[in-house]
Each structure stands twice: as C-alpha cells, then as structure tokens.
Amino acid sequence: MGKQEKPLHTLQQFLPDNTFGHIAPYFKEHNIHLTLTKARKSILGDYREPTRSEPYHRITVNINLNPYNFLITLVHELAHLVTCVEYGRSVKPHGKEWKANFKNMLIPYLGKNFFPNDVETALSKYINNPAASTCTDTELYKALYKYDLDKKPGQTLICHVPVGQHFKTDQGIFVKMKQLRTRSLCKDVGSGKQYYFPGIYEVELLSQ
C-alpha cells in the first residue's frame, strides 16, 4: 500500500472512526509499503528501512488487531519511520528519539474520543515512557484486550480468571490458586506443581 489513493483509503476500515485523516499524510509524504499480515504471536507490527533493492519504507501490522490496537501499532511503526528519516542508524530502535516521536505522534489522538475511556487512560500513562511493545504494559494490554473481536468462547486473560477456576493452555490444565499484583499463582492439575503466570497470559476457561 503506497501513495495510490484508492488503496490508501482502504486503510480506514481498520482504524477507529475519524482517525484516517491523521494517518494519511505520512503515506503521502513518504514512500511506504504497508502489508497487513495474519496474526503473529511474537509481534504486532514491524518496520524496515529502505534498501537498494527495496527503496521504500516497509511496515507490517497484524490484520486481526482491534481498531484501537491497530492504530497504536501503526503509529508505533510510523514513529520508527520518522526516527529513521531524522537520525538514520545512529540511534537505538526504541531509544529516547523514538520514544519522543512516538509520544508526539500519539498526542493528537488523545482527548478527541477516538479511544474508549479505559484505553485512553492507560495510553496516556504509557506514552510517558513507551516500551518496545504494548504487550509489556499490563494496564494498556488489558484495556485493549477487551475490544478484541476474534476471541474464542471462554478465552480471557488470566488476571480475569476467578480463584478456583480451571483453565486450559497449550501446556495443560490448571487451576488458579491466588491473584497477586501482576501475576497469578496456579497449579498444574496433572502434576500438582505450582506456577506463576503473568497477568496478561491468555487462557481458555473450562466449565466447572
């Protein structure tokens, strides 16, 4: 997706209402190839700078993200583009220069009702010191997760699982023993061993 008008406008369907006008200028100013990819567990999006063989900015974003997460991820990658144009390879990928650009590029979206209140509150705190991934910020991740549309029945974050509830992961069947501030203490039903799960770990609830 580069500077052609028709492909660019198709981006609107993935963004929150009335935010496309803030995004479009970046695509008109820079030669950007945007690829919407299938869901990836390890990353939500990525950026690659132009090369001799591919003389354009390359950005990918997971197509399954809800509109709010899609916008934040796209701005995250566009901030890499802006930082690359300004500094080249002389700065760290998620250093202070990128943090400043990302924060400044997100500020115009705040206070405009583009985000639900819970997402905006968490995002406002997050951009004061943004990390390499929104997944590392527990409050922002939890807020964004509520608006995912592709969750399976019973799928939730472990921080939302009641104590005593059984759930399933790729590693087996567990029961939640205790909720701590950022982690959940759980017991493997098969082995009896206890494990700590991060609060934003995704699990599937089992009927009692």
CATH number at residue 167: 2.30.30.30
Can you tell me the distance from the alpha carbon of 141 to that of 180, in angstroms, rounded to the nearest whole number?
17
- Based on the domain organization, do 103 and 75 belong to the same domain? yes
Tokens 């969750």 correspond to: 151
Quick check: is 15 in a domain? Answer: yes
Q: What digits encode the pLDDT tens for the residues 53-88?
A: 999 999 999 999 999 999 999 999 999 999 999 999
Distance CA 203, CA 159 (A): 10
Model confidence band, residue 7 (pLDDT cutoffs 50, 70, 90)? low
**Structural domains of the chain, count:** 2
- The pLDDT value recorded for residue 5 is 40
Within-domain flag for 120: yes
* Total-model pTM: 0.83
The yes-or-no verdict on residue 182 having pLDDT over 60 is: yes
DSSP state of 101: H
Domain shared by 71 and 38, yes or no: yes
Span 4-10, average pLDDT: 64
